[in-house]
Structures are given as structure tokens and as C-alpha cells.
Chain A
Amino acid sequence: MNELEYRRLLKKLPDRIEPERDLWAGINQKLGPAPARRHHERLFPFAMAASLLTAMLFGGWLLMRVQPIGAPELAETSVRSTVPALWRERQALELESVAAWQQISPDDERSLMVSAGPQVYAAWQELDGAETELEAALKSAPQAGFLLTRLKHVELEKLKLARLALNA
């Protein structure tokens, strides 16, 4: 027998060979209750809910790691985009502040604030102390954008206070 003959014989083999007796009666007797649905089909809603919850928890945890509460500007991308602008603003403020205060010594400054009243003086003390602390913090973390923002805010408040004292 050669290959062609073998193929010819293979092609002649019937696709279907019916059993000699009808097997249905025997099969029907052995069938149990209705076939069970797939487990994963029944559990699908629970699996979806569990997946969503896990994703939310993981997302929250990731967000807290990237942006700790109280220091939102620490994220690297945020620092890259905001720090140079903040430094420029601070330098401008410093120039303005220096221009305003250059003719006044620290003692005169204190005297001016005292003369403006106890509330102004107390506020000035608070702001001066905050400024000192923020500058010290910035020396150890010069890329901390949120410190620069705070410092800018303190200096603006000090400037307002100085104008208030001068006009008083």
C-alpha cells in the first residue's frame, strides 16, 4: 500500500458510526438534576465588586504614597513645574521687601510694629518666627515647593503688615 492508497482508504472511513442499540434510555436513567452552571458565572458579580474595592483601596494607597497629606506639592512633576516660578516670585518679593525695609534696621522695624499696636506686633512676631523656621527648612529641602509657597505667603503677610504699620 502506498501513501495515496492509504489516503484514499482514510477518506472512505465514515465520520459517524451510530451505536447498534439506542443508548438514550440508559443515558436518561443516569442523568441527575439539571447541569450546574459555571461557578465563575455565578460568582461574577461578587468578583467584580471585590476587584473594584481592591482597585480603589490600592489607588488610594498609591495616591497617599505619592502625595502625603500636608505636602501635596512634593510630587516630582509638581515640583519640576512650580519651583522655578515660586523662586522667581520669592525673589521679587524679597526685592520689594528689601526696598521697603532697607532703610529700617531690625530694631526700628520692631519699634514700628510695637507702635502700631499690640495686635500688629503679635502678628509680626508670629510671621517673623514662621519666616525664620521656613527659611531653615528650605535650607535642608531646597526642592520642597510647598515650603516655598508657605514662605511666599508669610512674606506677603509681613509686607501687608509693614504697610499697615507705616500707615497707622
Chain B
Amino acid sequence: MVAMTCGRDFRAGLNPLAPITIESGMMLAMSHLESTDRYAPAFTDGADTSLIKKALEGDRHAFERLYRRHSGRVHAVILRLVGHDRARAEDLTQDTFVRLWQKLGEFRFESAFSTWLHRMAVNIALMSLRGEAPMAAEGDSDDALADLPMPEHIRPDQRIDLEVLIAKLPARARSVLVLHDVEGWKHEEIGQELGIAVGSSKAHLHRARQLLAKWFGA
């Protein structure tokens, strides 16, 4: 085991001075890395506020500008959660903005609009995933995860694409990993959203990372 200090800028909200310990050649669970939404500003910016107020009065042009400003981020998280199923992600992105139009009147200007919208997008994507076969039945158990083979179309000599490997993770492990490591959610928030215990969320994250490490090492 090698103890070393490294930069900790990949996630907002970390103490950059605190040393971390990593094991040589393999990833740690990193469950000690508490996180926050790395993209979201603390408050709704002026442009969003103005567009939201206009949209609330029925101005569709203003709503279209909101869509143009936020569709990229919304689509990115949905795409990752549904395992890069592009057609499905596009449908869900569309659903998210239709729902946003319906629920816009419920937005309080006390928080960041992008965070609020992002949560709505995550909810819609997770609801869609729940509509499939139950997540746990799809190979999220300990044994099933341990035995998951390297995705067939990725050869060991191929350039490593984390995005592709994340998409190959089982649904629940993928959801936890995307929300925690990519989106910066806390385990408490993930547990609440997925209806699982905090411990389960941590366990899923640990297994997902182990699996990625295994595939990368293959």
C-alpha cells in the first residue's frame, strides 16, 4: 500500500489539503469523498430568472431559450443514466422539458434553477429505468457483478473510454456511480432517490468502481 497526496480538484467541496491513501494498482472505494453537485451554481443566475418569469407568463420563446441553455447538461446526465441509449435519452430529455413547462410555477427562486432542473431530469430517467425489469434482477448482486465479463466490443488493446464502460455497468450500479462520481451527489441523496439505504449506495459504488478497474485492467 502506498500513501500519497494528490490534487483533489476533481470534485467540488473536497479539502484540497487532506491527504488520501490509495492502493497501488487498484481503486479504493473512495467512499470518504463526500461530494456536491460539481456543475451547479449556488443561485439561479439573472438570465435564467428573467427567462423563467417570461416563461411563466406563457412566453414560449423564453422557454426555448431556457431549453437551449440547459439541454446539454440535462441530456448528458440522462444519457449516462440510461447507458448511452441515445433514442431513449432523447425521448427522456424531451419529457423533462415538457414536465419543466408544467412544473415551472413550482420553482422557488431561492435555489439554483439548474440544480432543480437536473433533479427533475434524474427523476424522470430513474423512473424510466424502474419501469424496466427490476434493477436488482439485472445483475446488480455481489456475485453477478463480480462475474460480469468485459464488454465484448471493447478489446484490451482498444483506447479506454470511461463513458463506454460506465454505460456497460448494470443499471443500479451505473446509476449510483453516475450520480456520485460524475454528478457529485451524496450517498444520502442517492439513497433517497433510488429508495435504497445509504450503505447499499456505498456498496453499489464500491462494486461499480471495482468492476471498472477490472475492465480497465483486462
Interface string of A17-56 (1 = CB under 8 A from B): 1111101101110111111111001000000000000000
Residue pairs across A and B with Cβ atoms less than 8 A apart, 27 shown, are: A1-B27, A1-B212, A2-B22, A2-B26, A3-B22, A3-B27, A3-B30, A6-B209, A10-B10, A10-B182, A12-B162, A15-B72, A16-B75, A18-B72, A19-B90, A21-B90, A23-B71, A24-B64, A30-B94, A33-B58, A35-B55, A35-B56, A35-B101, A36-B105, A37-B56, A37-B105, A41-B105
Asked whether, in the complex, the Cβ of A4 is within 8 Å of the Cβ of B24, the reply is: no
Q: Which 9 residue pairs of A and B lie closest in terms of their CB atoms, listed nearest first?
A: A16-B72, A34-B58, A1-B216, A17-B76, A35-B104, A9-B162, A3-B22, A37-B105, A7-B10
Specify the main secondary structure of chain A where it touches its partner: loop
- 8 extra A-B contacts, CB within 8 A, seeds A9-B160, A15-B72, A19-B71: A1-B217, A11-B10, A17-B79, A19-B90, A23-B97, A24-B68, A27-B94, A32-B102
Known: A1-B27, A1-B217, A9-B162. A15 touches B39 (CB 8 A): yes
B102 nearest CB across to chain A (Å): 6
Interface residues of A (CB under 8 A from B): 1-7, 9-21, 23-24, 26-28, 30-38, 41
Given the known inter-chain contacts A35-B104, A38-B105, please indicate yes or no for A17 contacting B72, CB distance below 8 A.
yes
Given A10-B181, A16-B73, A35-B105, the answer on whether A4 and B64 have CB atoms closer than 8 Å is no
CB distance from B3 to the nearest CB of A (A): 12
Instruction: Give the dominant DSSP class at B's interface.
Output: helix
- Nearest CB of B to A91, in Å: 66
C-alpha gap A30/B115 in the complex (Å): 24
Give, as a whole number of angstroms, the nearest-CB distance from A98 to chain B.
Answer: 75
Residue in A1, A3, A13, A26 whose CB lies within 8 Å of B163:
A13
Categorize the interface residue count of chain B: 35 or more
Q: How many contacts between A and B, using CB within 8 angstroms?
A: 105
Asked if B27 and A23 make an inter-chain contact with CB atoms under 8 angstroms apart, the answer reads no
Q: Does B146 contact A (CB under 8 A)?
A: no
B155 contacts chain A at the CB level, 8 A cutoff: no
- A23–B28 touching, CB < 8 Å: no
**Which residues of A are found within 8 Å of B163, using beta-carbon distances?**
13
- Chain A, residue nearest B21 (CB): A3
B73: which of A9, A15, A30, A34 is its contact (CB, 8 Å)? A15
B50 to chain A, nearest CB (A): 15
B101's nearest neighbour on chain A, judged by CB, is A31
- Name the contact of A24 in the complex, choosing from B20, B67, B182, B212 (C-beta under 8 A): B67
Residues of A within 8 A of B201 (CB): none
- Interface centre among B20, B24, B58, B97, by most chain A C-beta atoms within 10 angstroms, is B97
Map CB proximity to A onto B84-105 as digits: 1 under 8 Å, 0 otherwise: 0010011001100110011111
Asked if A31 contacts B98 (CB within 8 A), the reply is yes
Q: What B residues does A38 contact at CB under 8 A?
A: 105-106
Set of chain A residues within 8 Å of B130, measured between Cβ atoms: none
A19-B93, A27-B97, A37-B56 known; A6+B27 contact, CB < 8 A:
yes
B10 touches A15 (CB 8 A): no
Is the C-beta of B63 less than 8 angstroms from some C-beta in chain A? yes
